[in-house]
Chain A
Amino acid sequence: MIMRAGQNQPAAAREEQQKSEIPFNFTSQIVHLHKDHSLFEVGDVNRHLYLQDLYVCETDAPNPAVSVSQFACHISGCSAVFIALEEYEHHYNSLHRHVCCSCRRSLPSARLLDIHIQEWHDSLFTILAQRQDMYQCLVEGCGEKFRTSQHRKDHLVKIHKYPPDFRFDKPKKDKRAKETTRLQQKDTEMEVTEEVCDSEGVCEVLCDVLCHHPESGESMEMHVSEKEANGMTNHASGTEQSSEPPRPEYFNRVPRTVCFGHGSVRGFRGRRGRRK
């Protein structure tokens, strides 16, 4: 759209600059193939068989020769591959949707993500929480707020009959304690920000699953839930367990200015430069 609009503008220089920045370069091309090109290989084999009187015309045999293109999760480091689109979408929607930009945790819903960001990464929240009840109940519609996360947890368990080890309600740990444990762990190239929390939990679980790329989407799910269960159980008990999964090998630096999941990931959108 901007391209087309640009053509009407008098600033040719600006248009030129725009054109040079455009990464698209498709051009229609006629392709001439040499007789030994690989595209001709199968046909040549059939020709050979025909000349050897060995060619078989299989008109009716259902031949599953052609395979369906696979789908792959795009998230760098996630090597999951799927045959069916539904599998891929299920994987993506389950693991890569509401993800926190800052600490890469995957939350199951936009609301929980919002709460997470607020409670974990918003310094204003931390300040306000010292003076007033800021921890909101996770149950939508309840509206109750609490002074500490522990209070909230008690409320969730008592009133809303939540399990005490509910995996999406982890208190944020003290950063200083984190750093010592972090140093003990094997270093990786994972891109982390200052605000990341390195406790056992969804973050490490997620990354761990990503880099161990199981064969199918389903086993990946199970893996996540098993790991999550371990992680959450450890965490709920409030201790730092040493059953660390191996550190992930997140080899790509994800730009800070980019968060994925339009409308689903919160993470200081102001950094993207969008005017509000």
Chain B
Amino acid sequence: MWRLTRLRHKNGKQIASCSEEMRVKRRENEKGLFILHTLFRDMLLLHKLQHSGPERETHLKALSKALRDSSAQLTFVKYASENSMHLLVSFLTGSNTQCRLHAIRCLHELSHSPHPSVAPTCLPATSYLLTYLSGQSTKFTELCLYTLGNLIPDSDVVKEKLLAQGIIPALASCIENQRHHLAVVEAASFTLSQLLQAKDAAETIMSKVLVSTLPSQLLSVLTPDPQFGLAPAIECAWCLHYMACSQNGKELLACGALSKCSSLLWSLGCAVREGNQDEGLELLVCPLLRCVGNLLSFCPANSLTDQVGDVKLVVALSAFVQAYIHSRPALARESAWVLNNLTAHSTDFCSALLTHNLVPALIQSLAFSEGINTMILRVLANIANKKKEFCVELVQQGLLSSLCATLKMADAEMVTLSLEVLFMLVSSSPQVTEEFVRLNGVSLLEAIQYNSEGEMRRRAAYLLEHHLLFSELQQIEIVSMC
């Protein structure tokens, strides 16, 4: 899985565009490195740092900048052993708050290190970091959170220690107390997402999180703030997504997750449909889609409409399919997946697709590959599977002639699924059968009988034998009667 080691701050470092800036940075780095080298070479200097008064701040600040460099990080870890970390921790917990800030910056930079040996060296600091989560200095808390979040994927030892030290309740109370500070909420949700997406985020972590107040906290801050932007909602949504992926995800239904996520998706769908050009909407749409998609699998069919709210959600989902089919086909596919889950066992949602006239656009999407068309065809199959009347409506909206194209596609799954849908359609009424015959469908099926796939051949043969020949016979009888 991905190593999510770094997160920029809102006011994070800008890429230096002018050369003067670069020179300044370089000088500072060199100074920091010099300090590092002197530190490690001469323990006396270390001692000096401990007792040196106002210069400490300058030194620490320089150190934090120096530690942006990955080789400096490694140096700090390799040669300083425990002393340097203890030194940092002493600044972190000391009475000088500026030193605290610089110290946490040092730790934050260290947490970016790609070297796996770095994270465990930060262990002495973790209990303090967790303690500070319930502090009142929001900037400081943010830095603590990002440091923790960055350290989590790097080391199982760190993760286990944090769990033992109570990271879950700490995060829960942090979000609760700071829910009006959206930057902190964003940072806390990010840290939680790191915990939840870890490879062995076994069900133990998941179940601890699910029984805490975290799910309802996250849901309460899910709606994006128009001023602050999408970022906190994005982090919350990813947390909810990881929870919904778990087999224990059904716990989320009890706190109204499906309803909240669906209604937010609906709002986003409206925005997308109106051509909203806000950057990054898809960053929130993606985890929300996944939430809803997976939560639907836990929701009993008879309470679907209650949980989801409005059947009009299908309108939003169709809007996502259309909006993203060219620019982000994977996202269009995920939208179609949610549509499948919504329509699989619900006549109401199938009916909504028809009444809101969404089927023609879906039918057009059958031309696209990358798994989009098979998922869309599943949705249409779900509709056809419900009622004969739905079959007739689907035919009226042009599905039959589309099937004449999909039956010729290279994708075997697509062809087999098309045959299944065709079976449902022709079984619904003789008019459909005749229409298919009129569209030269018989020759299509006869061609399929020469395909190497047995599954296709059997289905095509069945349709010919039991439905289309029957129709021909009817015609012959009619003719002979005249």
- CB-based contact B245/A35 at 8 Å: yes
CA of A259 to CA of B446, assembled, Å: 7
| Contact of B381 (CB < 8 Å), options: A21, A28, A259 | A28
* A40 pairs with B290, CB closer than 8 A: yes
Query: Which stretch, B21-29, B122-130, B162-170, B422-430, touches the partner chain A?
Result: B422-430
Measured between alpha carbons, how far is A269 from B286 in the docked complex, in Å?
Answer: 56
Contacts of B228 in A (CB 8 A): none
Most buried by B among A22, A46, A62, A69: A69
Provide 27 A-B residue pairs closer than 8 Å at the C-beta atoms, listed in order of the A residue: A1-B430, A1-B470, A26-B381, A26-B421, A27-B385, A30-B297, A30-B344, A30-B345, A31-B293, A39-B333, A40-B290, A40-B334, A42-B331, A43-B287, A46-B282, A46-B283, A47-B283, A47-B286, A51-B190, A57-B282, A66-B370, A68-B369, A69-B367, A70-B410, A70-B411, A254-B450, A260-B450
Interface string of A1-45 (1 = CB under 8 A from B): 111100000000000000001111111111111111001111111
Distance between Cα atoms of A31 and B292 in the complex (Å):
12
Which residues of the partner chain B approach A67 to less than 8 Å between Cβ atoms? 368-370
| Chain B contacts with A in 446-475, Cβ cutoff 8 A | 446-452, 455-456, 458-459, 461-462, 466-467, 469-471
> When the two chains form the complex, which single residue of B293, B340, B410, B452 contacts A71, counting CB atoms closer than 8 Å?
B410
For the A-B complex with A3-B427, A65-B328, A69-B366 known, give 12 more contacts whose Cβ atoms are closer than 8 Å: A1-B470, A28-B344, A33-B245, A35-B197, A42-B331, A43-B286, A43-B287, A45-B2, A47-B283, A55-B280, A72-B410, A74-B408
Interface-central residue, A59, A85, A251, A263, by most chain B CB under 10 Å: A59
C-alpha spacing A25/B370, complex, angstroms: 24
Q: Given the complex of chains A and B, what is the CA–CA distance between A46 and B2 in angstroms?
A: 11
Q: Does B409 contact A (CB under 8 A)?
A: yes
Cross-chain contact A68 with B297 (CB below 8 angstroms)? no
A26-B424 contact, Cβ under 8 Å, with A43-B334, A48-B2, A69-B410: yes
* Assembly CA distance A76 to B424 (angstroms): 26
Of chain B, the residue at the smallest CB distance from A80 is B410
Cβ A69 vs Cβ B373 within 8 A: yes
- Given A69-B367, A85-B405, A260-B449, decide whether A46 and B443 contact each other with a Cβ distance below 8 A: no
In the assembled complex, A261 has its CB within 8 A of some CB on chain B: yes
A206 to chain B, nearest CB (A): 13
* Chain A residues whose C-beta falls within 8 Å of the C-beta of B271 in the assembled complex: none
Q: Which residue of A lies closest to B451 (CB)?
A: A74
Q: Which 8 A-B pairs have the closest CB atoms?
A: A72-B410, A42-B330, A260-B446, A32-B297, A66-B329, A35-B245, A26-B420, A28-B344
On whether A43 and B331 interact (CB within 8 A), knowing A4-B427, A35-B197, the answer reads yes
CA distance A53 to B443 in the complex (A): 55
A2-B466, A36-B1 known; A28 and B459 CB under 8 Å? no
Q: Please measure, in the bound complex, the distance between the C-alpha atom of A39 and the C-alpha atom of B290, giving whole angstroms.
A: 10
Q: Are A71 and B408 touching (Cβ within 8 A)?
A: yes
Interface check B6, CB cutoff 8 A: yes
Across chains A and B, the number of contacting residue pairs, with CB separation under 8 Å, is: 207
- Give bound CA distance, A56 to B191, whole Å: 23
- Which residues does chain B contribute within 8 Å of A96, judged by CB atoms? 447
Q: Evaluate whether A69 and B344 lie within 8 angstroms (CB atoms) in the complex, with A2-B470, A254-B450 already known.
A: no
- Chain A, residue nearest B6 (CB): A52
Q: Is the CB of B446 within 8 A of A1?
A: no
Does A55 lie within 8 Å of B283, measured CB to CB? yes
Report the Cα distance A46→B421, complex, angstroms: 35
> Measured between C-beta atoms, what is the minimum distance from B411 to chain A in Å?
6
Contact B290 A33 (CB under 8 A): yes
Interface residues in A, total, Cβ within 8 A:
71
Is B433 interfacial (CB 8 A cutoff)? yes
Tell me if A58 is interfacial: C-beta within 8 Å of chain B: yes
Q: Say if the beta carbon of A274 comes within 8 Å of chain B.
A: yes
A223 to chain B, nearest CB (A): 20
Determine chain B's interface SS by DSSP, over half rule: helix
Check A177 for interface membership: any CB of B closer than 8 A.
no
Would you call the interface of chain A mostly helix, strand, loop, or mixed?
Answer: loop
Which of B370, B409, B427, B456 has the most chain A CB atoms inside 10 A of its CB?
A: B409
Contact A261 B446 (CB under 8 A): yes
Q: Does B157 contact A (CB under 8 A)?
A: no
- A262 to chain B: which residues have CB within 8 Å? 442-443, 446
Give the docked Cα–Cα distance between A46 and B297 (Å). 25
Pick the contact of A69: B245, B280, B332, B368 (CB < 8 A).
B368
A26 and B369 alpha carbons, distance in the complex (Å): 21
Tell me if A92 counts as interface (CB < 8 A to partner B). Answer: yes
Instruction: Tell me, yes or no, whether A268 is within 8 Å of chain B by CB.
Output: no
A75 within 8 A of B: yes
Q: Which residues of chain B come closer than 8 Å to A33, judged between CB atoms?
A: 245, 290, 293-294, 337
Minimum CB–CB distance from A213 to chain B (whole Å) comes to 12
Minimum C-beta distance from A226 to chain B (A): 25
A50 at the interface (CB under 8 A from B): yes
* A43 cross-chain contacts in B, Cβ below 8 A: 286-287, 290, 330-331, 334
CA distance A207 to B283 in the complex (A): 52
Interface bits B147-163 vs A (CB < 8 Å: 1, else 0): 00000000000000000
Q: Flag whether B392 is at the interface (Cβ < 8 A).
A: no
Closest A residue to B299 by beta carbon equals A30
- Whether a CB of chain B sits under 8 angstroms from the CB of A157 is no
Q: Which residue of B lies closest to A276 (CB)?
A: B476
Q: Check A1/B447 contact, CB under 8 A, given A40-B290, A76-B452.
A: no
Chain A residue nearest to B324 (CB atoms) is: A66
A258's contact among B331, B344, B378, B446, by CB below 8 Å, is which?
Answer: B446
List which B3-30 residues lie within 8 A (CB) of chain A.
4, 6-8, 12
Residues of chain A contacted by B297 (CB below 8 angstroms): 30-32
Note all chain B residues with C-beta closer than 8 A to A58.
327
A72 and B409 in contact, given A4-B427, A46-B286 (Cβ under 8 angstroms): yes
B368 partner residues in chain A, CB cutoff 8 A: 66-69
**Bound state CA distance, A274 and B279, in angstroms?**
63
A192 interface residue (CB < 8 Å to B): no
Q: Which residue of B lies closest to A89 (CB)?
A: B408
CB-CB contacts of A111-142 with B at 8 A, as 1s and 0s? Answer: 00000000000000000000000000000000
Alpha-carbon distance A81/B331, docked complex (angstroms): 27
Which A127-185 residues have C-beta < 8 A from chain B? none
Find out whether the CB atom of B369 lies under 8 angstroms from the CB atom of A48: no
A21, A31, A61, A263 — most chain B CB neighbours (10 Å):
A31
